């Protein structure tokens, strides 16, 4: 394959007979990697903010005695402290992971999420909020560029909307995923129905919901657009939706990375770095 193939050629064959497909345009690749970095900072700074009050509620106000979710620590019957995650009326011992973790020197520290997962590592709400708000706007700007480019270039339609034949074969696609069988050759030139529907929910569902819920928590936004907070049923509900949406996005990233690993790490990474994705050997050269 040439070192810098022409962007106008969507597919080419190298001297060894391998077929290459230009899968990811430059704007898509840049948006992908910027999004990855921005979401990491948002997650870590968001956990820093959550640690200041590690509980979630539904409604307009905080019902301190009846949280929907809480990550705390308590003293057990043996007199030792333990980390506890409470969801409704159910509690789970999470000592060493959530609620109670070990700091440098081996001392136990009461904090919802451990220091390695937050930005900054030390408990510092003000700095965490500054990081969070700055990168939230970067997420919005990057997302807007991705959507506008995708809309006018046709990439959005090709990447997010399943074709008719894909919808009809939805069950088959689910089976192939469960068996860890992935499209090869020409079939790999387009995302399958599960990929498209997942990205559709992420791009047009979870990410906008997370951003809007974050805005609904702002007193300034509440004063200017009170309907936004009311849309979520109150500021505490918006906070819970924000947290849940972020959690689902983290789940998406974990599954996404695992699938990248099992479906071909080198080929997938090459595609998202250079744009070129290998479709395997050309039949004529393989004879």
Distance separating the N- and C-terminal Cα atoms of the chain: 20
C-alpha separations of 57 from 37, 65, 150, 237 in Å:
29, 10, 37, 6
Structure confidence at residue 46 (pLDDT): 96
Helix (H) or strand (E) holding 222: helix 219-224
In whole angstroms, what is the distance from residue 182 CA to residue 192 CA?
Answer: 9
In whole angstroms, what is the distance from residue 243 CA to residue 231 CA?
Answer: 16
Strand partners, 137: none
Burial class (CB in 10 A: 0-12, 13-18, 19+), 49: middle
Structure confidence at residue 80 (pLDDT): 82
Tell me the mean pLDDT per 10 residues along the chain, length 287. Answer: 43 81 93 96 96 93 88 82 90 88 74 93 94 96 95 91 88 87 81 92 95 91 89 94 96 94 93 91 52
* Structural domains of the chain ordered from first start: 13-54+118-286 (1.20.950.20), 58-112 (no CATH)
In whole angstroms, what is the distance from residue 252 CA to residue 24 CA?
Answer: 20
SS3 210: helix
Structure confidence at residue 149 (pLDDT): 95
Whether residue 22 contacts residue 7, with contact meaning beta carbons closer than 8 Å, is answered with: yes
């Amino acid at each position: 394959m040439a070192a810098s193939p022409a962007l106008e050629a969507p597919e080419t064959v190298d001297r060894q007979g391998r077929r290459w497909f230009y899968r990811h345009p430059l704007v898509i690749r840049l948006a992908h990697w910027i999004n990855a970095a921005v979401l990491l900072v948002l997650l870590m700074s968001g956990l820093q903010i959550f640690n200041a009050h590690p509980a979630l509620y539904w409604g307009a106000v905080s019902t301190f005695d009846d949280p929907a979710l809480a990550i705390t620590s308590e003293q057990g019957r043996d007199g030792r402290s333990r980390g506890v995650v409470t969801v409704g009326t159910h509690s789970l011992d999470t000592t060493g992971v959530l609620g109670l973790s070990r700091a440098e020197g081996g001392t136990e520290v009461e904090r919802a999420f451990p220091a390695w997962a937050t930005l900054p590592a030390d408990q510092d709400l003000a700095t965490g909020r500054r990081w969070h708000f700055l990168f939230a706007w970067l997420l919005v700007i990057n997302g807007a560029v991705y959507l506008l480019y995708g809309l006018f270039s046709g990439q959005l339609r090709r990447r997010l909307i399943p074709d008719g034949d894909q919808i009809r074969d939805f069950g088959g696609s689910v089976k192939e995923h469960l068996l860890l069988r992935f499209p090869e050759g020409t079939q790999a030139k387009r995302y399958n129905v599960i990929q498209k529907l997942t990205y559709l929910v992420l791009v047009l569902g979870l990410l906008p919901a997370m951003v809007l819920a974050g805005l609904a928590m702002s007193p300034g936004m509440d004063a200017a657009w009170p309907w936004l907070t009311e849309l979520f049923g109150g500021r505490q509900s918006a906070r819970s939706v924000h947290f849940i949406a972020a959690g689902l996005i983290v789940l998406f990233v974990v599954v996404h990375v695992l699938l990248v690993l099992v479906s071909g790490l080198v080929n997938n990474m090459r595609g998202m770095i250079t744009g070129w994705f290998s479709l395997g050997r050309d039949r004529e050269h393989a004879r």
